[in-house]
Structure 1
Amino acid sequence: MKTTFSVLALVAGLSSAAYAEDLKGEITLGAYTGVFQDEYTKAVIAPFEAAHPGVKVNYASDRASSGLLGQLRAQASDPQMDVVLFDVSTALIGNKEGLLSPITKEEVPNLADLAPEATVQEGYGPAVTFDHEVMVYNTETVKTAPTSLEILWDPAYKGKIAATSMPSILGTGLMIMTSKMLGEDYTQSVEKSVAKLAELAPAVQTFDPKPDSYTLVLNGTVDISTGWNARAQYYFDQSNGKQGVVTPAEGTILQKNTINLVANAKNPELAKAFINYALSPEAQTAFTNAMYYSPTNTKATPSEEALKRTLFGKLDSTLPLDWAWVATQNDRWNAMWKREIISAGN
C-alpha cells in the first residue's frame, strides 16, 4: 500500500513532507453532524485513513458553524480540534479572532488547483465545498414546481412555509435574493427586501426550522422552505422525489464551506496533510458524487448526474456576493431581521 500511495502522490504532485510514508498519529476534525458526517466520513475520511494505516481522524460534530466556533473559542488555550470545517462567514470571524492559522501552497499543494472563488481570506483556509440556496417543496402538496421566489408570498401557502432567518446565512441569502427580485441593490440598501420579508412573516410557520427544513417538508409540516442545494438534492434521492428542489429564477447565493487549520493544533503536519487530501480532485469528486456539494478543485471530475445538480462550472451564474463585506453588515442586518421581520409575524 505504501508503494502504491507514493506513486499516486508523485503523480498528483503532493508534498513529500505532508505525505511521508511514515505519517502517523491522530487529528480531530470539527464539522457538521447528521448526514454530512456520515457521507464525509465515507467519501473523504475513510480513504485518507486507508492510505495511511497509522493515522486516525476523529470527528467532533456540531449542528451549525456557530457551534463549532463556540467550541474553538472555549478551547482557545488548549485546542482539541486540529482542522475545522465551517461556513465562510464563520471562518472570517475565526481568522479575525486568531483561532485559525494560515496555510501555504508549499504546505498544501492542492491549493494551486482551486477555483478563484474558493479563496476566503488570503493565506487562510479555502472553500472545500460550494453550495447554493434553493427552495425546497413537497411535491405531493405543491403540484406545480415553483420557479420564482414569489411563491413564498402566495396566500395558498400561508402558514405552511419555513424560512431560516439570520444569523444563519440562509437568512442572509434570502434577504439578498429578495432584493434581487425587487430590483434593489442590496449593497446600497435592504429596506425594500426587509419590508417585503415583513409582509411574508405572518405566513411563516417557523423562522427556526427544527429538526431541519428538509424534514419539515418531507413530513408535511410545511409545504415550502428555504434550504441548501446539496442537502436538498440528497433528500430528493432519499425520498424518491417527494421533496422537490428548485433554484429561484431571481438567482441564488454561492455558499462556501471552508476547511481550516486550527491555531496551535496539536498535530499541524498531519492536519495539513488531511486538508490537502480533502482538497484533492479524488476527495472532492467522491464527496460531490455522494452528496451534491459542488467541488472547489477545478480538476475534480464529478459524475454527469452530479454535474447537472450542482453549480460546478457555473459559479458565475450566482449573485455577486462579497462575504467579507457582508460580515461588516451582519450585526445591522441581524437586528433588522429581529426587529422588523420576525416580529411582524407575532
Structure 2
Amino acid sequence: MRSTIFAFALGLLASTAAQADVTVYSAGPGSLINDLAKGFTAKTGIKANVFQATTGKVMARLEAESSNPVADVVISASWGTATSFAAKGLLLPYTSPNAETVPDFLKTDTAVAQGVAGICIAYNTKSGLPVPKDWADLAKPEYKDMVTLPDAAASGGTYSLVEAFAANDMNGVLQSIKDNGAIVAGANAAALNPVLQGSKAAVFAAVDYITLGAKAKGESVDIVFPESGTVVAPRPMMILKSSKNQDDAKAFIDYVLSEEGQKAVAKVYLMPSRTDIKVDRPLIGDLKLLSSEGAPARDAVLDGFKAIFN
C-alpha cells in the first residue's frame, strides 16, 4: 500500500513539474508576447504568465520584487538592459540551439534578441512633398516646420541614433533639422501621430515596426531607411539567475527562436533575429548600419541633444 502511495506521489510531483509555469516580463507589443505565450503553451503544455508594459515599468517591477523575484524571463526594448544585468551578475548563461542563425552581434552568452527594430524616417504619403532619401533631406526648405522627432531621453531608438551621430561626427544633421523647424514631440507615438494626422510630414528617427503597423491599418504613412546609414534596436531576451523554473525558461527562449516563434515576431513587423526567416520587409542585411563605437557617455549624448533642441 505504501509503495502504491509513494509511486502515486512521485507521479503527481512529476506531472506538476512538467506543467510548471514560466513567468515572462516583456516590454513591447502586447499582441506579440500574448501570441508567443499562447503558442508556447500549445507546443509545450507549460503555462506562460505574462506581464507586459514599457521597459521603464518592467524595470520598476523587477526592482520592487528584487527581494523576492517572480520573473523567469525578461524581454526588454533596450539592449542596454542585457548589458547592465549581465554586469551585475543577474543573468543565467544559456545558448539556445535555435540561435545558430542569429548573428553574433545579436547574442551573448546571457542574452539573445527576440527581434530587431530599425530606426527610419516615417513620412506621410499624401503630404505632396518629395520622398526623403536621407536624414539631411529633412533639413531642405520643403520640409520646413514639417518634421517631428522623439525625445532621445524618452525613446531608446532615438537615443541610439543620436549616439551614433555623435560617434560619426554627424551632429550637424541634427542642428540643420532643428534650424529647419523640427520639433521634439515626446516619445515615439507622440512624434508619429501628427504625421498620421497630416499636420506634419515626417518623423526623424521613427521606429519601423510601429510605422509599418500603422501602414497595415490603412494609414497614409511609409518608411525610408536613410542612405547614409541608421541603427537598429535589438530586443534582448534574458533568463534571470534567480529563476526557479530555469528549464522552462530555456524552453521559452527556444520557442521564441523557433521558426514558429520568429514568424510571430515578424507578424508585428519586427525583423526576426534569425537570418533564415524570410519576410517581405527590409532586414538587417539590407541596411547600412552606423557604428556607435567611440560615442560619448549617455549623459554627454543627451546633453548634446538638449543643447541643440533647447
Q: TM-score range by the shorter chain?
A: 0.7 to 0.9
Correspondence for 1:114 among 102, 105, 114: 102
Paired position in structure 2 for 1:231: 210
1: distance between equivalents of 2:141 and 2:187? Answer: 20
Paired position in structure 2 for 1:310: 282
Paired position in structure 2 for 1:336: 304
Give unpaired runs (5+ residues) of structure 1. 1-19, 180-185
Output one character per residue of 1:201-241: Cα deviation in whole Å (capped at 9) or x when no partner.
Answer: 3623334146443333212343211212222222211125x
Paired position in structure 2 for 1:23: 18
2: distance between equivalents of 1:222 and 1:262? Answer: 43
Is 1:68 the counterpart of 2:76? The answer is: no
- For residue 48 of structure 1, give the secondary structure of its aligned residue in structure 2: helix
Correspondence for 1:95 among 81, 86, 93: 86
Is 1:162 the counterpart of 2:148? The answer is: yes
Kept in 1: contact 2:135–2:173 (CA 8 A)? no
Is 1:194 the counterpart of 2:158? The answer is: no
Is 1:83 the counterpart of 2:70? The answer is: no
2: distance between equivalents of 1:150 and 1:267? Answer: 50
Paired position in structure 2 for 1:291: 268
Amino acid at match of 1:140: K
Output one character per residue of 1:116-160: Cα deviation in whole Å (capped at 9) or x when no partner.
Answer: 2212xx421111212211001111114432112123213433333
TM-score of the aligned structures, taking structure 1 as reference length: 0.75
Kept in 2: contact 1:236–1:245 (CA 8 A)? no
1: distance between equivalents of 2:289 and 2:206? Answer: 16
- For residue 101 of structure 1, give the secondary structure of its aligned residue in structure 2: coil
2: distance between equivalents of 1:337 and 1:252? Answer: 17
Deviation of 1:110 (Å): 1.9
Deviation of 1:48 (Å): 0.9
Distance 1:263 1:293, change over 3 A: same
Deviation of 1:104 (Å): 2.5
Paired position in structure 1 for 2:11: none
- For residue 25 of structure 1, give the secondary structure of its aligned residue in structure 2: coil
2: distance between equivalents of 1:205 and 1:95? Answer: 36
2: distance between equivalents of 1:77 and 1:83? Answer: 17
Kept in 2: contact 1:293–1:310 (CA 8 A)? no
- For residue 272 of structure 2, give the secondary structure of its aligned residue in structure 1: coil
**Which deviates further from its counterpart, 158-167 or 21-30?**
21-30
Rg larger for: 2
2: distance between equivalents of 1:23 and 1:313? Answer: 40
Paired position in structure 2 for 1:264: 242
1: distance between equivalents of 2:172 and 2:289? Answer: 24
1: distance between equivalents of 2:184 and 2:116? Answer: 26
How many positions carry a matched residue from both structures? 292
Deviation of 1:175 (Å): 2.6
- For residue 136 of structure 2, give the secondary structure of its aligned residue in structure 1: helix
1: distance between equivalents of 2:241 and 2:270? Answer: 27
1: distance between equivalents of 2:16 and 2:243? Answer: 21
TM-score of the aligned structures, taking structure 2 as reference length: 0.82
Distance 1:298 1:244, change over 3 A: closer
Output one character per residue of 1:77-115: Cα deviation in whole Å (capped at 9) or x when no partner.
Answer: 2223221111212221222233x313233xx32233422
Hey, which bits of structure 1, 4+ residues long, moved more than 6 A? none
Give the alignment's Cα RMSD to 1 decimal: 2.7
Q: How does 1:170-189 map to 2 (within 5 A)?
A: 170-175=157-162, 179=165, 186-187=166-167
- For residue 103 of structure 1, give the secondary structure of its aligned residue in structure 2: coil
Amino acid at match of 2:34: T
Give unpaired runs (5+ residues) of structure 2. 1-14
Paired position in structure 1 for 2:186: 208
Paired position in structure 2 for 1:282: 260
2: distance between equivalents of 1:94 and 1:132? Answer: 23
Correspondence for 2:30 among 19, 37, 50: 37
Kept in 2: contact 1:162–1:222 (CA 8 A)? yes
